């Protein structure tokens, strides 16, 4: 899968719910929603409900790249249903996949949460744009860049050098209009993974995550995070 052109590079965002929550709330996500770890696909019962999105952090391997090429060929041949109500954002900033994943998880759940600040402004100004135009909007937003950089340095581990190409990549799974979609800014479009419901979304998302893991069973670097309603608020 070819990389989109990257005009700038950010520090990678750590897969850390505390860092993500502080970042997303600074951008305008309400505190009654939170990012939480999914510790195991066998422990979904302990994940706070409802779940609006699932983020996957995984290694980009040759097996994965080969699969993506086959997947794209199949979609071109067979087509797929894609909801016109999805907000899809291309990734043209290096190492920005964590921020793109957060934006995908929130921007495709605006009916569930009252947004403010940057998020409200971004969605309003870009709702009629193409995925590429949304990417350009993000590139020119100095406030978002500064907020991302601050959050990237707040994790438990030292961020790698800005110029380093990390093997790990974030993408988001969301439910929209009865289907579960994979939202990955490296791809040309969302990928439809089949029917789902609000009640069954977490189980259906877990099944998609399992497919990622099954493609490279020797690989252990998978992290799953849910965007959930905070049961204490």
The rounded percent of the chain whose pLDDT value lies above 90 is 69
For the structural domain made of 8-229, what CATH number should be given? 3.40.532.10
Q: For 58-98, write each residue's pLDDT tens digit.
A: 999 888 999 999 999 999 999 999 999 999 999 998 888 99
Residue among 97, 104, 148, 209 flagged as catalytic? 97
165 is catalytic: no
CA distances from 81 to 74, 191, 204 (A): 13, 9, 17
Please state, in angstroms and rounded to a whole number, the distance separating the CA atoms of residues 48 and 36.
8
What tokens were used for 199?
């009640």
Strands 223-229 vs 179-183: parallel, antiparallel or unpaired: unpaired
**Apex CA 162: angle with CA 148 and CA 174, to 5°?**
45
97 is catalytic: yes
Instruction: Give pTM, 2 decimals.
Output: 0.89
Residue among 145, 169, 193, 209 flagged as catalytic? 169
Q: For 134-170, write each residue's pLDDT tens digit.
A: 999 988 877 676 665 666 566 555 544 545 556 789 9
Torsions phi, psi of 53, nearest 5?
-160, 160
* All structural domains of the chain with their residue ranges: 8-229
């Amino acid at each position: 899968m070819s990389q989109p052109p990257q005009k700038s590079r950010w520090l990678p965002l750590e897969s850390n719910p505390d860092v993500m929550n502080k970042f997303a709330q600074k951008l305008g996500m309400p505190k009654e929603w939170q990012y939480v770890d999914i510790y195991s696909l066998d422990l979904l019962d302990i994940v706070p409900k409802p779940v609006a999105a699932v983020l996957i952090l995984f290694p980009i391997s040759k097996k994965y790249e080969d699969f993506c090429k086959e997947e794209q060929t199949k979609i071109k041949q067979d087509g797929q249903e894609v909801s016109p109500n999805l907000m899809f954002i291309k990734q043209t900033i290096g190492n920005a996949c964590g921020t793109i994943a957060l934006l995908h998880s929130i921007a495709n759940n605006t009916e569930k949460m009252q947004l403010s600040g940057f998020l409200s402004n971004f969605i309003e100004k870009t709702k009629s744009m193409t995925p590429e135009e949304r990417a350009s909007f993000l590139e020119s937003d100095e406030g978002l860049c500064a907020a991302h950089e601050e959050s990237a340095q707040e994790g438990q581990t030292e961020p790698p050098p800005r110029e380093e190409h990390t093997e790990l990549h974030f993408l988001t799974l969301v439910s929209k209009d009865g289907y579960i979609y994979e939202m990955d800014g490296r791809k040309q479009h969302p990928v439809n993974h089949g029917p789902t419901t609000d009640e069954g979304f977490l189980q259906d998302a877990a099944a998609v995550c399992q497919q990622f893991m099954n493609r490279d069973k020797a690989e252990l670097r998978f992290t799953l995070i849910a965007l959930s309603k905070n049961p204490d608020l």
